[in-house]
């Protein structure tokens, strides 16, 4: 954990390895059963667990998480804190430029919140040609889409069966008696569906979560179990670790 290291320790570490993981999440509502910190909690847990598993092979540095994300669509629910999209892009840009200046050669933005993906992609566009480091962007759920489709109940969207199960397995606070099922409302049936895995045809639009859910949940959170979470999270971890091993081997 970079935040717990001294600067001479970071200097020493850079002689052994130059891979940094930057966990990014949000502080936003996750229905009545999951806390607001969920998306940076999961990104940080995945980063720390991957770093632990890689320790004997490569000593990866995990930076402090970026705890606020782009969440204006969740502002109808108390406690949500959002950045402007440009602020998030600028933050990611500045964090990557700093790590690059110190000599990190591979920087992995590990994202825990879908709403951040565009801002992260924009930061990567802006960083192109501006760093010696290679900068990667991974939304953790895309590492295990096949496993998610196999074990989770759809819609897979927000504070749903999939997200609750994974968070639970990773050690999140889950208020079991507050879990609810709310599949969410289609705004244009068959086109604008609240489901990460909705089939074609698709159209998209920006809307508020209050337009599609009363509880803040979109999905069947009552179907969540730690066991299901383990099946998904272990695939995420295995493939994330493999990705980092490939970076080490491609030096
Ligand atoms: Zn989330």
Whether the predicted pLDDT of 22 surpasses 90:
yes
Separation of CA 106 and ligand 1 centre (Å): 26
Q: How far is the CA of 25 from the centre of ligand 1 (A)?
A: 8
Looking up tokens 């709310």, which residue turns up?
Answer: 182
Q: How far is CA 45 from CA 7, 24, 42, in A?
A: 24, 11, 5
pLDDT, tens digit (0-9, with 9 covering 90-100), for 139-195: 999 999 999 999 999 999 999 999 999 999 999 999 999 999 999 999 999 999 999
CB-CB contact of 116 with 88 (8 Å): yes
Report the alpha-carbon distance of residue 53 to residue 105 in Å, rounded. 20
Question: Quick check: 71 and 81 in contact, CB under 8 A?
Answer: yes
Ligand 1 center–CA 138 separation, angstroms: 15
Q: Model pTM?
A: 0.96
Residue 135 has pLDDT above 90, yes or no: yes
Task: Return the pLDDT at 88.
Answer: 98
The mean of the pLDDT values for the chain is 97
Contact 20, 61 (CB under 8 A): yes
Domains observed in the chain: 2-249 (3.40.50.10310)
Mean of pLDDT values over 240-246: 97
Nearest-angstrom CA–CA distance, 26 and 98? 22
Give the pLDDT confidence of 208-238 residue by residue, as tens digits. Answer: 999 999 999 999 999 999 999 999 999 999 9
| pLDDT surpasses 70 at 243 | yes
Q: How confident is the model at residue 56 (pLDDT cuts 50, 70, 90)?
A: very high
Examine the pLDDT at 249 and tell me if it is beyond 70: yes
Tell which phi-psi region holds residue 108, choosing left (phi > 0), alpha (psi between -120 and 50) or beta. Answer: beta
CA of 158 from ligand 1 middle (Å) equals 6
Task: Give residue 19's pLDDT.
Answer: 97
């Amino acid at each position: 954990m970079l935040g717990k290291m001294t600067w001479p320790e970071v200097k020493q570490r850079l002689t052994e390895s130059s891979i940094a993981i930057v966990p990014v999440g949000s502080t936003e509502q996750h229905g009545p059963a999951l806390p607001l910190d969920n998306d940076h909690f999961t990104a940080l847990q995945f980063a720390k667990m991957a770093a632990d598993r890689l320790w004997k092979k490569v000593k990866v540095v995990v930076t402090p998480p970026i705890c606020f994300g782009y969440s204006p669509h969740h502002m109808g629910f108390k406690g949500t804190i959002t950045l402007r999209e440009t602020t998030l892009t600028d933050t990611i840009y500045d964090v990557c430029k700093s790590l690059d200046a110190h000599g990190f050669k591979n920087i992995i933005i590990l994202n825990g919140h879908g709403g951040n993906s565009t801002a992260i992609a924009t930061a990567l566009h802006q960083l192109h040609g501006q760093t010696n480091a290679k900068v990667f962007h991974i939304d953790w759920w895309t590492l295990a889409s096949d496993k998610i489709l196999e074990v989770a109940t759809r819609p897979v969207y927000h504070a749903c069966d999939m997200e609750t199960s994974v968070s639970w397995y990773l050690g999140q606070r889950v208020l079991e008696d507050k879990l609810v099922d709310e599949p969410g409302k289609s705004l244009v049936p068959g086109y604008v569906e609240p489901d990460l895995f909705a089939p074609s045809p698709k159209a998209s639009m920006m809307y508020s979560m209050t337009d599609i859910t009363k509880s803040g949940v979109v999905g069947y959170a009552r179907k969540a179990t730690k066991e299901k979470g383990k099946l998904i999270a272990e695939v995420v971890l295995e493939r994330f670790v493999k990705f980092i091993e490939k970076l080490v081997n491609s030096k």
